Amino acid sequence: MGRLEVDLCGITLSNPVIPASGTFGFGYEFAEIFDINKLGTFSFKGTTKESRFGNPTPRIAECTAGMINSVGLQNPGVEKVISEELPKLKKCFNKPVMANVSGFSVDDYAYTCEKLDKEEQVGWLEVNISCPNVHNGGMSFGTNPNSASEVVKAVKKVTTKPVIVKLSPNVTDIVSIAKACEDAGADGISLINTLLGMRIDLKTKKPVIANTMGGFSGPAIFPVALRMVYQVAKAVNIPVVGMGGVSSAEDVIEMMLAGATAVEVGAANLINPTASLEIINNLESTMDKYNINNLKDIIGGV
């Protein structure tokens, strides 16, 4: 194995860096800028059973060391993702891709996952029970261990590929939810999704975001994400994918020491389209700086 290689639920990644869902489209857009095959993999745009226009605008608000978004899972629906988006991706990406799935009912999750599970290009199903930007779905499943367990059991019944459950930080006890997902059959856990945030325009005296609140991401949330990754990795016996404010090779190594097998990069991609590639290019020199020979040897090293 190379110095950067890791194993995520039985699939080898050439490196642990994964652009996060919602920040990398369906990949082929970024292939015009750099060779996306240099990535470990990426998690494509959150996909639902039916197409979604998303939330009203404005959907983005800037913050100190971060941003708030309330896009609301805009996507063409699973049928068009399979018929239109994946064929475009296949022309420029020769690795397994991570399919990110959201839903508004247990049946929604099962339907969409069953469809994507049949696609050769899909390596993992990242089941998002943590989106803070939609009503009556997403995060409502991720804030209760029983609801989370119900989604995982339904998805596992209709799929054969690794199921990685994406958790919300907007809870009192993230460990109990992670353990419930593991007990229900999850093959991995990814965390954290965005924190719930808000900004007010002082000129209009109204919220900047049309939806009032949205998902807060960026470097400001990294310490919270690192803490939660550490807690969950200590509590479960399945791989953890860490994310939340990651913007450098040093951040990747911190996440892995906390227990992450792989690391997703989110908001940094929206600021700099080559952020993930630059992190990968800096990994080996950063490893040398801290006397690390192989990344797989430091997973959960703290």
Give the 3-state DSSP-derived string for the chain, with helices as H, strands as E and coil as C. Answer: CCCCCEEECCEEECCCEEECCCCCCCCHHHHCCCCHHHCCCCECCCECCCCECCCCCCCEEEECCEEEECCCCCECCHHHHHHHHHHHHHCCCCCCEEEEECCCCHHHHHHHHHHHHCCCCEEEEEEECCCCCCCCCCHHHHCCHHHHHHHHHHHHHCCCCCEEEECCCCCCCHHHHHHHHHHCCCCEEEECCCEEECCEECCCCEECCCCCCEEEECHHHHHHHHHHHHHHHHHCCCCEEECCCCCCHHHHHHHHHHCCCEEEECHHHHHCCCHHHHHHHHHHHHHHHCCCCCHHHHCCCC
All structural domains of the chain with their residue ranges: 6-54+74-196+218-298
Per-residue pLDDT of the chain (302 residues; tens, 9 = 90+): 599 999 999 999 999 999 999 999 999 999 999 999 999 999 999 999 999 998 999 999 999 999 999 998 899 999 999 999 999 999 999 999 999 999 988 999 999 999 999 999 999 999 999 765 454 454 567 788 998 999 999 999 999 999 999 999 999 999 999 999 999 999 999 999 999 999 999 999 999 999 999 999 999 999 999 999 999 999 999 999 999 999 999 999 999 999 999 999 999 999 999 999 999 999 999 999 999 999 999 999 99
> What fold does the segment set 6-54+74-196+218-298 form as a domain?
TIM Barrel (3.20.20)
Catalytic residue selected from 9, 63, 92, 131: 131
pTM of the model: 0.95
Indicate if 9 belongs to the active site: no
